Chain A
Amino acid sequence: MNLFAFTTIFAQAGKGLGEFAGDYSSKWDAGTYDGGLVFAGIIKWLVTTWGVPEWVPLSSILNGVLEASVFPEIGALLITIGLVFGFVNIFAIGAVWSERKVSAHMQCRLGPMEVGPHGILQTVADGLKLLAKEDIIPRLADKPLFALAPAIVFAGVLMRFVPLPFGDQLIASDLDLGLFFIAAVGAVEVLGVIMAGWSSNNKWSLFGTIRTATQMVSYEIPIGLAFITVIICSGSFSLMEIVNQQGGSLNASDGYVYGGWIWHWNLFRNPFMLVLSITYFIASLAECKRSPFDLPEAESELVSGFHTEYTGMRFALFFLAEYAAMYLVAAVAVVIFLGGWWSGIYPLDALGLGPEATTLTKTLGLLIKVGVFLSKAFALVFVQMWVRWTLPRIRLDQMMYVCWKVLLPISLVCLIGSCLWELASGGASVFGFGIVVE
């Protein structure tokens, strides 16, 4: 599935990246939702609305550069990459700290308390330490593969952020095959992990790699089935479109989605979706190698699994990729089940939408939507941590049993059940509400 996907994806990605810098500002002004508006669109809009302030040195030149037609194509691309990369880094710093805090509080400890208030800068200090560490490559390692592996793992995670929205219209590139892209590029991470484990020339690394490959390839199937069910129900691969459909009320006269109530979310679309969201969450834990599926990194058996031999910044990249993947699976769950940026409260959702919206309400509405999206994703990340510090690691055979004998049949039943429900009810939710056309 994934190899075939790749050829399709690159065509799609090329098209998306070409498109995304095109006419975003006109789309923003029109308030339409049928395009790939980018972060840079927001920046350009901010600049054209307010401009670079006068007190900034060389403000006239900067304004000129920002207004220039060359800037959007390259500049927007770089800004988008920078923003996504920066977000991943900042998220990882915060998540590592909060993971340590969550684990400490669940075990009657305090956790990091020394660096900054309540140890909030502990991860920054650790990151600086990792930067200064010696980069050791074992003598018998396959050096090119060993050096390349962390980059590929991290790139595999970062690439999956491309079709992932952060809020209303805040998306790097709204690919038509967004969910497909996320499922397909997930395979790149496995490739990087296999490279890391094989090139390390270490028995623990190799065992960790074999486990990782087994696990990640197996658990792609329940995840894929969850994706397929959502795609069948919403009729689109695009993450923006899936979220917009969960917005509920579609105004027939002007074609705007004004947001809806909590029962418009995919989670409550039918009873099978409720079950499917749980199977997706379990499979996503295995996909990003979190406990209780942390067999690839089982400390007590394999030292550290596939990254046993890695030091310094290369190790930090693996670590960063792991935390980025945590956010990614949580955000995908938010998009496909939990209503994306819709808060589930109609007046809050409708703020800043439609032709009457002013600059102020647009900005306010955007900020609320970003906040809602991020808080939903962070709540799921907290659940991942909560599970990690509650459940012990399971055995390899149990892991395979859960995937092939529990999650797969349940997912298949839910897929068929969802299809039948859609046919029978015509898109009405558990509560009996469908998309309202006013």
Chain B
Amino acid sequence: MIPCAYFMNIFKVARSIWIGMGITLKYFLNHKKTLCTIQYPREKDLIPARHRGIHYLETEKCVLCWKCSDICPVDCIYIEGVRGADGPLQGGYRGQKATLSKFTVDYTVCIFCGLCEEPCPPKCIWLGPEFDYHSTDRTMMEKNLLSDEVYTESDEVFVEWARGENERLQEEKKKQKEAEKAAKAAEKAAAVAVAEETPAEAAEETTEEASAEAAEENPEGEGDAAE
């Protein structure tokens, strides 16, 4: 008697191999159509709309409120700047003016939680679609959001310059205001002097008040002064 199961087994194996080889050959011959991969650094795939990637900052909107750096759970956002001076990088929101000299995110620390987006009053910081941030050096992992580049030594030079420039402008503004107030006070004093008989004492008092006001208008290092 012929062992049917034996020959059926061989037949089934041969048939399944035939089918399998047909499938792979079909894929091999149509590999240009069935291609699933991309040449990554040169080609990029679509990123989902809500993907949380590298930060972007709309500098002109920023009001320098420090909310993003305050809420950041890992404290990876570093901000420097002043409000109220017409500095080299000017932002503004509802009439307020902010001058940024440094706005960097340290990606060795950042966890891409997206919390910095939420409290931002002008919604000017957001996580973009890019995910491929890489470097050969730890110090290169800090991104300068003002220039959308890696934070480097030349940025440090710029920050130093901008800091000095801001301070200088602040000082100039203060002096200008003082001078204006002094002039106004002098005018007032003159007017008062015309009206009253003791003008010199009144002029002294008003200049003191003006300098105190100017000092209040320089809120460097304070978070929620913009409110």
In the bound complex, how far is the Cα of B29 from the Cα of A106, in angstroms? 8
- With A105-B27, A108-B27, A406-B10 as contacts: A390 and B20 at CB distance below 8 Å: yes
Chain B residue at smallest Cβ distance from A392? B20
Q: Are B25 and A386 in contact (CB under 8 A)?
A: yes
In the bound complex, how far is the Cα of B32 from the Cα of A108, in angstroms? 8
Which residues of B lie under 8 Å from residue A405 when comparing CB positions? 6
Contact with A along B22-45 (1 / 0, CB 8 A): 011101100100111101000000
Residue B17 interfacial (CB < 8 Å): yes
Chain A residue at smallest Cβ distance from B37? A109
Q: Are A109 and B35 in contact (CB under 8 A)?
A: yes
Of B6, B28, B36, which one neighbours A106 at CB under 8 angstroms? B28
Which residues of A lie under 8 Å from residue B35 when comparing CB positions? 108-110
- With A105-B27, A108-B31, A406-B10 as contacts: A391 and B20 at CB distance below 8 Å: yes
Chain A residue at smallest Cβ distance from B22? A390
Chain A residue at smallest Cβ distance from B19? A390
In the bound complex, how far is the Cα of B35 from the Cα of A164, in angstroms? 40
Q: Tell me what chain B mostly uses at the interface: helix, strand, loop, or mixed.
A: helix
Q: Are B36 and A386 in contact (CB under 8 A)?
A: no
Of A110, A387, A390, A406, which one neighbours B39 at CB under 8 angstroms? A110
In the bound complex, how far is the Cα of B34 from the Cα of A108, in angstroms? 6
In the bound complex, how far is the Cα of B36 from the Cα of A110, in angstroms? 9
Number of A interface residues, CB 8 Å? 16
In the bound complex, how far is the Cα of B28 from the Cα of A102, in angstroms? 7
Q: A-B contact count, CB below 8 Å?
A: 38
Q: Are A386 and B37 in contact (CB under 8 A)?
A: no
* Chain A, 191-207, CB within 8 A of any chain B CB: none
In the bound complex, how far is the Cα of B36 from the Cα of A104, in angstroms? 11
In the bound complex, how far is the Cα of B17 from the Cα of A106, in angstroms? 15
Chain B residue at smallest Cβ distance from A409? B6
In the bound complex, how far is the Cα of B23 from the Cα of A110, in angstroms? 18
Residue B179 interfacial (CB < 8 Å): no
In the bound complex, how far is the Cα of B32 from the Cα of A110, in angstroms? 9
Count chain A CB atoms within 10 A of each CB in B6, B20, B23, B24 and give the residue with the most.
Answer: B24
Residue B200 interfacial (CB < 8 Å): no
Q: How far is the CB of B58 from chain A (nearest CB, A)?
A: 38
Q: Are B37 and A108 in contact (CB under 8 A)?
A: yes
Residue B111 interfacial (CB < 8 Å): no
Residue B113 interfacial (CB < 8 Å): no
* Chain B, 4-18, CB within 8 A of any chain A CB: 6, 10, 17
Chain A residue at smallest Cβ distance from B26? A106
Interface size class of chain B, counting residues whose CB lies under 8 Å from the partner chain: 10 to 19
Q: Are B24 and A106 in contact (CB under 8 A)?
A: yes
Residue A113 interfacial (CB < 8 Å): yes
In the bound complex, how far is the Cα of B34 from the Cα of A104, in angstroms? 11
Contact with A along B93-124 (1 / 0, CB 8 A): 00000000000000000000000000000000
Residue B226 interfacial (CB < 8 Å): no
Q: How far is the CB of A389 from chain B (nearest CB, A)?
A: 6
Q: How far is the CB of B47 from chain A (nearest CB, A)?
A: 21
Residue B214 interfacial (CB < 8 Å): no
* Chain A, 362-416, CB within 8 A of any chain B CB: 386-387, 389-391, 405-406
Count chain B CB atoms within 10 A of each CB in A102, A108, A391 and give the residue with the most.
Answer: A108
In the bound complex, how far is the Cα of B17 from the Cα of A389, in angstroms? 12
Q: Are A109 and B36 in contact (CB under 8 A)?
A: yes
Of B6, B24, B36, which one neighbours A389 at CB under 8 angstroms? B24
Residue B21 interfacial (CB < 8 Å): yes
Q: How far is the CB of A286 from chain B (nearest CB, A)?
A: 15
In the bound complex, how far is the Cα of B43 from the Cα of A110, in angstroms? 13
Count chain B CB atoms within 10 A of each CB in A106, A386, A391 and give the residue with the most.
Answer: A106
Of A104, A109, A110, A386, which one neighbours B24 at CB under 8 angstroms? A386
Q: How far is the CB of A252 from chain B (nearest CB, A)?
A: 43
In the bound complex, how far is the Cα of B39 from the Cα of A113, in angstroms? 9
Q: Are A105 and B31 in contact (CB under 8 A)?
A: yes
Chain A residue at smallest Cβ distance from B21? A390
* Chain A, 94-109, CB within 8 A of any chain B CB: 102, 104-109
Q: Are A105 and B28 in contact (CB under 8 A)?
A: yes
Q: How far is the CB of B38 from chain A (nearest CB, A)?
A: 9
* Chain A, 79-138, CB within 8 A of any chain B CB: 102, 104-110, 113
* Chain B, 38-59, CB within 8 A of any chain A CB: 39
Which residues of A lie under 8 Å from residue B31 when comparing CB positions? 104-106, 108
In the bound complex, how far is the Cα of B39 from the Cα of A380, in angstroms? 31
Which residues of B lie under 8 Å from residue A391 when comparing CB positions? 17, 20
Which residues of A lie under 8 Å from residue B28 when comparing CB positions? 102, 105-106, 386
Chain A residue at smallest Cβ distance from B36? A108
Which residues of B lie under 8 Å from residue A110 when comparing CB positions? 35, 37, 39
Which residues of A lie under 8 Å from residue B6 when comparing CB positions? 405
Contact with A along B181-199 (1 / 0, CB 8 A): 0000000000000000000
Chain B residue at smallest Cβ distance from A114? B39
In the bound complex, how far is the Cα of B31 from the Cα of A110, in angstroms? 8
In the bound complex, how far is the Cα of B21 from the Cα of A288, in angstroms? 20
Which residues of A lie under 8 Å from residue B17 when comparing CB positions? 390-391
In the bound complex, how far is the Cα of B51 from the Cα of A106, in angstroms? 32
Which residues of B lie under 8 Å from residue A387 when comparing CB positions? 21
In the bound complex, how far is the Cα of B18 from the Cα of A386, in angstroms? 12
Chain A residue at smallest Cβ distance from B9? A406
- For the complex with contacts A105-B31, A108-B35, 10 further pairs of A-B residues with Cβ separation under 8 Å are A105-B28, A107-B27, A108-B31, A109-B36, A386-B24, A386-B25, A386-B28, A389-B24, A391-B17, A406-B10
- Chain A contact residues, CB within 8 Å of chain B: 102, 104-110, 113, 386-387, 389-391, 405-406
Nearest 9 Cβ contacts at the A-B interface = A105-B31, A108-B36, A390-B24, A108-B34, A106-B24, A390-B20, A105-B28, A106-B28, A109-B37
**Could you show 26 A-B contacts with beta carbons less than 8 Å apart?**
A102-B28, A104-B31, A105-B28, A105-B31, A106-B24, A106-B27, A106-B28, A106-B31, A107-B27, A108-B27, A108-B31, A109-B35, A109-B36, A109-B37, A110-B39, A113-B39, A386-B21, A386-B24, A386-B25, A390-B17, A390-B20, A390-B21, A390-B23, A391-B17, A391-B20, A406-B10
